[in-house]
Amino acid sequence: MRRTEPGPLFTSGRPGYAGHRLTGNGIGEIVRRLGKMAGADRVTPHGIRHTAVTEVLRLTGGNVAAAQAFARHKSVQTTMVYADHLNDLAGKTAAKLAASINGDSDKDTP
């Protein structure tokens, strides 16, 4: 709970830095450590953000406007990167192109 005293809301507990503002690197370290405790090999703050935006797209049936608002992206092109990851549009298109080049265009590719 935030009190009335001035100063940083989140502070470091690291020896020599106790009471100082928690840095972005400090937050990243906390996230990585908690991820390892949860059994994940690699967890980053941006990875969590990416997962959240992708999940919003999934839950809204691909509503890019909703995901853009959630992520607070200025550009819809930024949000579209997440939409492509969700549907693997680039990968599916590349597979179709490869099938076409290999003469397998009549095969049903993803």
Which residues form the domain of 37?
9-43
Q: What is the pLDDT of residues 26-50, one digit of tens each?
A: 899 999 999 999 998 899 999 999 8
Contact call for residues 20 and 12 (beta carbons, < 8 A): yes
If asked whether residues 54 and 85 sit together in one domain, one would say yes
CA distance linking residue 18 with residue 8, whole number of Å: 12
Asked if residue 30 and residue 57 are part of one domain, the reply reads no
Dihedral in degrees, nearest 10, Cα atoms 23, 34, 52, 82: 80
The pTM of the full predicted model, rounded to 2 decimals, is: 0.62
**Mind listing the pLDDT tens digit of every residue in the chain (110 residues)?**
667 878 888 888 888 888 888 888 989 999 999 999 999 889 999 999 988 998 999 899 889 999 999 999 999 999 988 887 776 767 778 888 888 888 775 555 45
Q: Is residue 4 in some structural domain?
A: no
